[in-house]
Amino acid sequence: MSRPDVTNAPYLKLDHIAKSFQRGASSTEVLRDINLSIADGEYVAIIGHSGCGKSTLLNIIAGLTPVSSGAVLLENQEVNSPGPDRAVVFQNHSLLPWLTVYENVALAVNKVFGSRKSRAERDAWIRHNLALVHMTHALDKRPSEISGGMKQRVGIARALAMEPKILLLDEPFGALDALTRAHLQDSVMEIHARLKNTMIMITHDVDEAVLLSDRIVMMTNGPAATIGEVMEVPLERPRKRLDLVEDPTYTHARAGVLEFLYARHKAPSIAA
């Protein structure tokens, strides 16, 4: 597999990003000096202890949270407001409970492609994206009527249906049981292989990070968290979780992340 060229023209560039939250007179520095370049089609996982600022970083890339200093550059253009080119799969699915599965995806498709696609084309596109995540059997169900894993699938379909340049996933499978999670991880790998889109995923699951990503970005503990280390995962795709159990590259990568998280940058509560 040819690795996309990162050095020449970064697709997405995080340039000296810092973020402080003001609350009254006091200010907490959450992120400091974040620099990262991501290539088109790359799958990047961000891992770090809870509260270090992963969600804040993802929201900055999404444009939902403004930076304090620095810039996010997408194809050399600064982005500082949210848009469908950077679709987000939220941690708690964020489906609108008053809309059906179909309508939730339709809301996005009609907004993004309202002027470019005919009604029939949009309908086909909605169904196509729900088929990608195997949810066509529940088109008319409301979010309260389907399981957590299914909601997360619909959230992914909604994000994919925007045809984003970058898909941002904030601990997308964090609230799911192990079996459902494995299922969805396979779905995401399949989608990534098929669509070759750029994905940035936050996770706190070491195996998930190694299994899915091309690179793992490891963050130090807050306050003033930054990128501690970036690790390549040179595993061939398509990856099969069963084959990887014994794979030395896999075990090595896994050990590297574990060492970073639990030896060099223990969670504050564990360290104390």
Residues that bind ligand ADP (CB under 6 A): 21, 23, 30, 48, 50-56, 222
> Is the CB of residue 261 less than 8 Å from the CB of residue 67?
no
Task: Determine, following the binding rule CB under 8 A, whether residue 107 of this chain makes contact with other proteins.
Answer: yes
Q: How far apart are CA 141 and CA 99, in angstroms?
A: 9
Taking CB under 8 A as the binding criterion, the range among 16-24, 47-55, 140-148, 179-187 that sits at the site for other proteins is 140-148
Identify the residue whose tokens are 């500082």: 80
Tokens for 173?
Answer: 């499978």
Task: Determine, following the binding rule CB under 5 A, whether residue 56 of this chain makes contact with Mg ion.
Answer: no
Q: How far apart are CA 41 and CA 166, in angstroms?
A: 9
State the nearest-atom distance from the C-beta of 56 to ligand ADP, in Å: 3
State the nearest-atom distance from the C-beta of 193 to ligand ADP, in Å: 28
Task: Determine, following the binding rule CB under 5 A, whether residue 55 of this chain makes contact with Mg ion.
Answer: yes
Q: How far apart are CA 45 and CA 164, in angstroms?
A: 18
State the nearest-atom distance from the C-beta of 51 to ligand ADP, in Å: 5
Give residue 61's identity as a one-letter amino acid code.
Answer: I
> Is the CB of residue 102 less than 8 Å from the CB of residue 142?
no
Task: Determine, following the binding rule CB under 8 A, whether residue 138 of this chain makes contact with other proteins.
Answer: no
- Candidate list 4, 41, 51, 83; residue touching other proteins; CB under 8 A: 83
Q: Which residues have a Cβ under 8 Å from the Cβ of 33 and sit 6 or more positions away?
A: 16, 17, 18, 226
Task: Determine, following the binding rule CB under 8 A, whether residue 53 of this chain makes contact with other proteins.
Answer: no
Q: How far apart are CA 43 and CA 237, in angstroms?
A: 12
State the nearest-atom distance from the C-beta of 264 to ligand ADP, in Å: 17
Task: Determine, following the binding rule CB under 8 A, whether residue 74 of this chain makes contact with other proteins.
Answer: no
Task: Determine, following the binding rule CB under 8 A, whether residue 136 of this chain makes contact with other proteins.
Answer: no
Q: How far apart are CA 249 and CA 189, in angstroms?
A: 18
Q: List residues near Mg ion by CB under 5 A.
A: 55
Q: List residues near other proteins by CB under 8 A.
A: 62-64, 81-84, 86-88, 90, 92, 94-99, 107-108, 111-112, 142-144, 162
